[in-house]
Structure formats: C-alpha cells, structure tokens
C-alpha cells in the first residue's frame, strides 16, 4: 500500500470493505474504477479501458463514466446481477487538506433498486432472505420490496424443496442466504433464477431480535427461523443502504398452508405469468387477466396469481366484488376513469420515505390523492354493497394532499437545482428572497434601457455568465461612445464587456438573493417531504385498498369481455365444469370459435381420467384449461365456462411437455421422472395432477410399465383427482380393473383420407393414434408420408404374423410340457427342467409382491429383473 499514491491508497482501503461490488469512485465529474473492477467493467459496459499512474511502475487499469449519466451504466450492471458501491466526495475539495474525504453512501444490488429502468413498472422487485433453525428443523423466509415497502415472513417446516417452491412464487431479484444452506442446496437453488448473496456474518440472536423489534415495535412473537431471516435482511439493508427503511411499516406473517401450492414446473407448464417458449408476459394468464389501471394493482394481481387462496370465505368476498362490477357497466367505467389518474402510490411513498422523492413525485402524489373522494363517491352512490365495504374505511389523507397543494407549484421541475418549486405565499422568507431576485432582474432591464438612452448605443445590452457575473456589452463599432464611468471587465473578439460601480453593487444583492433563495427552497422542500413521510403508513394502507379495487375491476372487465361465469364451491371433493374453455387460447385465436368441453372429477367414479387421442387434437389444452379454471376461481375471478362447481384444490402438479434441462445436465426422461415423482409423493386427495405422455422418454415397454405403475399408485395410494393423457392404448384396459379410472378420448373423424380434429372430449377410448395423419398436417413431404404408410402396413402385417406364431408356439409348448411334467423328473430334458424351475420361481416372486405398498420405481426395477431372467 505504501508505494501507491494517497488517492489510490484511499481507493484500495474503501474497496476492501466492498469486495463483491464495483466501486464507483467519485473523482470530479466522473465515477472511476481501477484494477480488476476497471477491467471487468470495461468489458461489461463496452467502455474504454485506460491507465493511470498510481505510484508504481506499471500503470493502473482504469475506466470511468460521467456522473450525470452514471445511472444508465449502473442499471446495465445491475441487470447482469452485479452490485455497485457508490463512493462520493463528502467534503468540499476547495477546503480539503490532502486527499478529499470519500465514503460509500449506498450499495446498489439487484434486490435494493429503488428506481430506474431496472425496476419493472408493473412488477415487484423482491429481496428474499432464507435462514435455518437447526433446533426445530425449519426454514424462515423474509421477503421485502424496498421500492414498495412490502415486508413478508413465513416459516417452512417440511423440506428444502418447499423452500424452492416458495421462492419461485416471488421471482426474486436477489436472495440473501446463509452460507451453510447455500452450499448444501446449491443444486436445487439453480431452479430459481436470482442473484445469490451468501451471508457470512454471524449475528447473535439477541442482536437480531433487537434489530427486528426496533423496526417493527408492534410485531407479535415470531418463530426463531423467521426472526433470523428478517434480522439478516434488515442488517443487510442497513449495511448496503446506510439508512433505516421507515417505509417498512408492517411485517405480514403468513402461513403457506393458506394458499395453493404451485411448484416451479407447474408455473412453467401452465404459463401463469410468462410463456414457456420465450418467457414473455404476452400469451400468459397474467397477460390476459391484467386489465388493471394502476401499476400497484398490476403487482397485486400477480401476487394473487402466485398465491391462490384456500379460504372459501376470502374467495367469495373477491367474487362478490367482481360480480358487483360485472353487473354494473356504468360503475365499472366510472371507476376505471378515476383509477387511470392514480399514479404509483406505493413507489412514490417509498421514495418519499427513503428521501429521494423529487418535487414531481410529490405533485403526482397530490394528483392521485385528489381522485380518492371521487372514487368513494362513485361507489357510495351505486348499489354495490360488496364495494361499499371496501371504500368505507378509505382514509382520504386530505392533510397530505392539502399540504402539497399549498406548497408545491403545479407541474414542478424534476430537479430541485433549477428552483421554482415552492409556491409563492407558502414561506415568508422565501418570498422575500424571490422579491429581491425579481426586483433585481427588473432593475437590470431598466438599467439596459437607461444606458442605451444615455450613451446612444442602441445595441448595448446587459448580460450574465457564471464566470464574470453581470456585465454591460458594447460592440467594437461603438467603443468610441463608451463613457468613462464604465470599467473594462472582459475583451471579446467583436466586443468589450464593462461594469459600473452601481452594477457591481446590485450584482452582489441579486446573486446573494438567488443563492439564498435556492438554499432555502431546498430546505423548505425537505421539510415538506419529511412531513409527508410521517404519514407513510396511512398512505400505504390507502394504496393497498385502491390496488385491491383495481384488481377486482380488472377481473370484471375480462369476465365481461369473454363471458365468464361466477364459480361455486362444494365440500364434496367434486369438480364439475360445463363447457369449459382455455381462456388464453380463446383470447388469442380471434375469429375462430373455441370448442368447449365438460369435465367431471371426483373421488368416487371419476378420480382418474385416462385421455387418449392423436397429437394436436387438444389433450394438453384440455388438461391445462381445467387447472387454469381452478386457479382463476381460487384467486377470486370468474371462469371461462358455462358453469363451474369446484372443490378446493390445495396443490396442482403438472407434467406437460418435454425438454432437456441443459443447465443441470438432466435429460428429458430425468426431468419427466423428477416432476412425476414430485406429484405422486406430495399430492393429497385434495390435489389435482396433470400428467401428459408419461414414459415416452424411454423404450416402449419401459415407458408403458412406468405409466401403468404410476396410474395404479395414484389410484390406490394418492387418491388425487388426475388427468392422464397417453399414447399407450394398452393402458385403457385399466378402466376395466380399477373402479375410479375412466376412459375419455379426443374425437376425430376421417374425411377423404384426411383426419379432422373436432377438439371434443368424449367418453371411451380412442382406437387409433393417427400419427401419420398428424405428420401430413404438419407439412411432411409426400414421399415421406407415402413411405411411412407402407412401412406401417408392413409392420402391422409382421406383428400379426408374429402374434399368430407366438400363439402357436405357446400352445405347442404347453402341449409338450404338460405330459412331461407329469412324468418322472429324471426323464425330463435338463434345459426344459431349468425352464420349468425358472417359471415357477418367477410365478412365486410375482405372487409374493406387495404391489399396493410399492413405489413405481421399485415396481419397474422388479419388472426389469424378471425380464432379464426370462430373456436368458
């Protein structure tokens, strides 16, 4: 260190405290980076890498960005998952003795972004903390969004896979996790795409308790695991942001058992918030349902979609609100008009509390609050009782609105530096400075007019610049008319600039008034912002209620547009949907009528629906639409059907579609088995399972055996309502052996040698798969189709001949073996004797199997062992 210059020594000492972040080191008008930071940043930001003398022989790598455009560069680094430590000059360079004092004022991380393009306007930016309590073997999750002021906590007492499921519901930008947990579960954590910050600081439980208690003084006792996670999260925020987050007013503890469980696979397969193909919102269920008018309403809708309810009472409350709007179009339109004028209250309030709200933010807050009385009045005048309950407790927060209206000018400048923010008449001293400044500028105009008259120089003008102050400018052609009282101040190419004693004296007064006016205006604005900040909790509660109303309105709009119906709920475990539709597909295929289908699922006769039919006929769509209908109902939305009577579903499991998981090195078949295992081992009798083409990722007989074993296991042990599509037509015979398995198929017809998909689900099994017909529809070359049909005919003929030969051989063997078995064993051929012994051994083994208490994989292994013995 001693060999470096004092400034580089300062840089290195600060950088040592923030080794995992880019250090944006303020030098004048630039943020500079040095050493490895500079090398990496130059690549990531595509900026020039230079060098600087630092007291050693080799030049130190360096790159930098202008301070006024730093935000865009920081955003690019954050989007890539990096962190940025903002190191500012904290003393005036003019008065500094030696190296200017610098400090890190804030560390920006993916989970602590407060503003900018990194933040999705209609989405949350969650930072999640995960901790473990070894005594109770439980995990604690604490979740915050610093941009909105949300703070949640829950405890998970099952296993880490459940932690992953909970994490996936939040789509976190950053996860703060204890080092031991991270190292132990690093493979599972790859399922959640986030920046992981490993927390290595070991803070005592008493200190964590104090941190949480100080922040949430009215918090009821919480579990140790939640306490640790919340304490770690708040400690991390204090460390990185260097301030206390006063807008975290409520720590909402929730029980995961209050919500439907949707694992990562199910969210992806059902395309709830983004499409599986290109991860875009468009084409997802969220895209369809999000007709909200406010950004905070959009975020709340997504949270509802991530956490469908298990409480019929809470669901019915939402449905009643939707119905009130559904049946009153004028009310819905009037509310929509008012909500369009409400800005993002949650994020404005957070910026106010954080201390970085601009005059424009306060103005938008006022404009939003001015809409609240009209919203209440519209609802009160309607006959919508469910909505009246929502708005009756609305706090108008008129004191805040009134304060901003009196103090902040309409449509103020974004920056305080420009001045002109505070209304005249609000602050007496500020008004005096304003008058002095205004009168001074008027005096300058009068001076210009007077000097022109006295000197006869018509082009004379009075001007100002920051270097020389106020001056009188005379062109060279008029210099002979300049009076002696003018004092030369500056010489230009085509003019001379002068001052007078009178102008010099007035300049001092004007500049002093301007400077003091800007300083005082800044102080007054801070006082106003602090006063608003003290009402954060009231404002947040109002924002939540407006968002709630906005989501109900969105549901009503979509339901009305597509003729959805209000679902009903039963306690019998039945799902009965008449003329159900897939809402997203129906919305995107404009001009093409959607073919609706019925479904009946229960624990008595229709527990498992075995669905057969060709590809492209609509099996997967049928399965998905049932799951999506259930989810829509349990978030409180009307559903796409003629009628829907549903039971409460606690979990939905899906295995739909196939694809290799390249990031973890898992094959299609391994992914398929993993998802299937999760379904059949974690589902309950109140769950819904969707399994599409199980077993197709391996050989035919292996796949068929696994598929059958899975079906039987669900029937005998799980009792979950299940939709199982398959191309193994042999499995349809299971309906004859198991009372709660029913065959259904997607109907097709052949016309002029072509297959026509009717997309209609009917009872019974399909007799053919129509694979070659589907290939033909896909545009496969005619030569390939013709050859495929010939090969199929040959294969079917071979299969028929082989079956006939096998039957003859079996009859011949039985004919030969039976009399020989009755004879003395000494007379039997040794090879035949071995065969008989093997058959007897296999029969004994099969007879002794406890199939009802065997997992599918165990059954598969035994079947494989038997097959190997018989093939020998």
Residue 711: name the closest of 689, 727, 696 by CA.
Answer: 689
Measured in degrees and rounded to the nearest 5, phi and psi for residue 489 equal -120, -35
Q: How far apart are the first and last CA of the chain?
A: 76
Give CA–CA dist 148/345, Å, rounded. Answer: 9
Cβ–Cβ < 8 Å for 486, 500: yes
List Cα–Cα distances, 375 to 187, 331, 363, 370, 399, in angstroms.
50, 10, 19, 10, 18
Give CA–CA dist 706/710, Å, rounded. Answer: 6
Give CA–CA dist 57/554, Å, rounded. Answer: 66
List Cα–Cα distances, 743 to 552, 700, 708, 847, 869, in angstroms.
39, 21, 14, 28, 34
Q: Beta strands of 500-567 (E only): which ranges?
A: none
Q: Which residues contact 141 (CB under 8 A, 6 or more apart)?
A: 128, 129, 130, 152, 153, 154, 155, 156, 163, 166, 167, 226, 229
Q: Give strand pairing partners of 755.
A: 750
User: What DSSP letter does each residue of 612-623 carry, written as one string?
Assistant: E--TTSSHHHHH
According to DSSP, the β-strands at 22-27 and 469-475 are: unpaired
Residue ranges of the binding site? 613-620
List Cα–Cα distances, 561 to 289, 320, 329, 813, 826, in angstroms.
11, 18, 11, 69, 84
Which value, to the nearest 10 degrees, does the dihedral of the CA atoms of residues 720, 724, 729, 733 take? Answer: 10
Q: Which residues contact 91 (CB under 8 A, 6 or more apart)?
A: 100, 101
Give CA–CA dist 546/164, Å, rounded. Answer: 31
For tokens 């950004």, name the residue. 295
Residue 407: name the closest of 377, 434, 427 by CA.
Answer: 427
Q: Give strand pairing partners of 741.
A: 608
Q: Give strand pairing partners of 833.
A: none
Residue ranges of the binding site for ATP? 613-620
Per DSSP, the three-state class of 496 is strand
Give CA–CA dist 326/638, Å, rounded. Answer: 10
Count of residues in the chain: 872
SS3 content of the chain, % helix, strand, coil (to 5): 50, 20, 30
Cβ–Cβ < 8 Å for 715, 608: yes
Q: Give strand pairing partners of 80.
A: none
Alpha-helical runs (H) found in 295-340: 295-306, 312-326, 329-339
Per DSSP, the three-state class of 104 is strand
């Amino acid at each position: 260190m001693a060999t470096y210059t004092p400034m580089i020594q300062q840089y290195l000492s600060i950088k040592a405290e923030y080794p995992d972040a880019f250090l944006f080191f303020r030098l004048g008008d630039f943020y500079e980076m040095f050493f490895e930071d500079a090398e990496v940043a130059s690549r990531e930001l595509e900026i020039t890498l230079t060098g600087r003398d630092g007291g050693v022989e080799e030049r130190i790598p360096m790159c930098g960005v202008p301070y006024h455009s730093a935000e865009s560069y920081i955003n690019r680094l954050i989007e890539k998952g990096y962190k940025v430590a903002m190191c500012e000059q904290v003393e005036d360079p003019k008065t500094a003795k030696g190296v200017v004092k610098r400090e890190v004022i804030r560390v920006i991380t993916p989970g602590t972004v407060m503003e900018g393009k990194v933040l999705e306007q209609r989405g949350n930016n969650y930072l999640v903390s995960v901790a473990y309590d070894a005594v109770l073997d439980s995990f604690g999750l604490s979740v915050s969004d610093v941009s909105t002021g949300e703070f949640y906590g829950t405890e998970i007492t099952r296993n880490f896979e459940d932690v992953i499921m909970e994490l996936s519901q939040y789509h976190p930008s950053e996860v703060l996790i204890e080092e031991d947990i991270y190292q132990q579960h690093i493979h599972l954590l790859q399922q959640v795409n986030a920046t992981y910050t490993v927390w290595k600081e070991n803070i005592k439980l008493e200190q964590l308790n104090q941190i949480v208690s100080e922040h949430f003084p009215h918090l009821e006792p919480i579990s140790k695991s939640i306490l640790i996670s919340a304490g770690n999260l708040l400690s991390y925020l204090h460390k990185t942001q260097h301030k206390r987050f006063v807008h975290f007013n409520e720590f909402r503890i929730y029980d995961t058992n209050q919500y439907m469980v949707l694992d990562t696979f199910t969210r992806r397969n059902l395309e709830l918030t983004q499409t599986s193909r290109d991860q875009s919102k468009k084409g997802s269920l969220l895209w369809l349902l999000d007709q909200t008018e406010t950004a905070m309403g959009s975020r709340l809708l997504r949270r509802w979609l991530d956490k469908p309810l298990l409480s019929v009472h809470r669901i019915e409350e939402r449905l009643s609100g939707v119905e009130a709007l559904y049946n009153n179009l004028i009310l819905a339109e009037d509310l929509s008009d008012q909500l369009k004028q409400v800005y993002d209250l949650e994020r404005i309030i957070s910026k106010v509390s954080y201390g970085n709200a601009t005059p424009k933010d306060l103005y938008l807050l006022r404009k939003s609050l001015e809409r609240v009385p009209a919203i209440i009045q519209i609802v009160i005048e309607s006959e919508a009782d469910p909505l009246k309950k929502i708005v009756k407790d609305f706090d108008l927060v008129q004191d805040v609105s009134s304060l901003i209206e009196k103090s902040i000018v309409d449509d103020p400048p974004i920056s305080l530096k420009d001045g002109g923010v505070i209304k005249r008449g609000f602050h007496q001293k500020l008004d005096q400075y304003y008058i002095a400044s205004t009168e001074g500028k008027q005096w300058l105009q009068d001076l210009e007019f007077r000097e022109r008259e006295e000197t006869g120089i018509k082009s004379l003008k009075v001007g100002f610049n920051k270097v020389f102050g106020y001056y009188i400018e005379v062109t060279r052609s008029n210099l002979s008319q300049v009076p002696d009282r003018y004092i030369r101040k500056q010489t230009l190419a085509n003019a001379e600039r002068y001052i007078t004693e009178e102008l010099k004296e007035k300049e001092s007064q004007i500049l002093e008034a301007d400077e003091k006016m800007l300083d005082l205006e800044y102080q007054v604005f801070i006082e106003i912002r602090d006063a608003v900040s003290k009402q954060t909790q009231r404002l947040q509660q109002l924002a939540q209620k407006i968002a709630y109303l906005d989501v109900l309105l969105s549901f009503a709009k979509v339901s009305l547009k597509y003729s959805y119906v209000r679902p009903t709920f039963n306690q019998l475990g039945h799902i009965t949907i008449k003329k159900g539709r897939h809402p997203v597909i129906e919305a995107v295929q404009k001009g093409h009528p959607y073919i609706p289908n019925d479904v009946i699922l229960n624990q008595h006769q229709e527990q498992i629906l075995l669905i057969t039919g060709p590809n492209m006929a609509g099996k997967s769509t049928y399965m998905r639409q049932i799951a999506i209908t259930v989810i829509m109902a349990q978030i409180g939305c009307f559903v796409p059907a003629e009628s829907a009577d549903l039971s409460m579903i606690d979990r939905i499991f899906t295995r739909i579609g196939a694809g290799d998981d390249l990031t973890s090195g898992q094959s299609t078949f391994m992914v398929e088995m993993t998802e299937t295992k999760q379904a059949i081992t974690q589902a309950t009798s109140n769950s819904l399972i969707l399994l599409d083409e199980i077993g197709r990722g391996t050989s035919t007989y292996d796949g068929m055996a696994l598929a059958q074993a899975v079906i039987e296991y669900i029937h005998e042990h799980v009792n979950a309502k299940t939709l199982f599509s398959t191309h193994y037509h042999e499995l349809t015979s299971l309906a004859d052996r198991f009372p709660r398995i029913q065959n259904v198929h997607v109907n097709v017809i052949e016309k002029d040698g072509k297959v026509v998909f009717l997309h209609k689900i009917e009872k019974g099994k399909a007799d053919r798969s129509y694979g070659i017909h589907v290939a033909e529809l896909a545009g496969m070359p005619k030569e390939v189709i013709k050859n495929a049909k010939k090969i199929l005919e040959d294969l079917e003929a071979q299969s028929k001949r082989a079956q006939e030969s096998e039957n003859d051989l079996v009859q011949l063997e039985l004919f030969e073996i039976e009399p020989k078995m009755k004879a003395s064993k000494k007379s039997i051929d040794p090879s035949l004797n071995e065969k008989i012994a093997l058959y007897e051994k296999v029969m004994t083994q099969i007879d002794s199997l406890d199939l009802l208490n065997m997992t599918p994989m165990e059954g598969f292994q035994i079947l494989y062992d038997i097959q190997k013995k018989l093939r020998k």
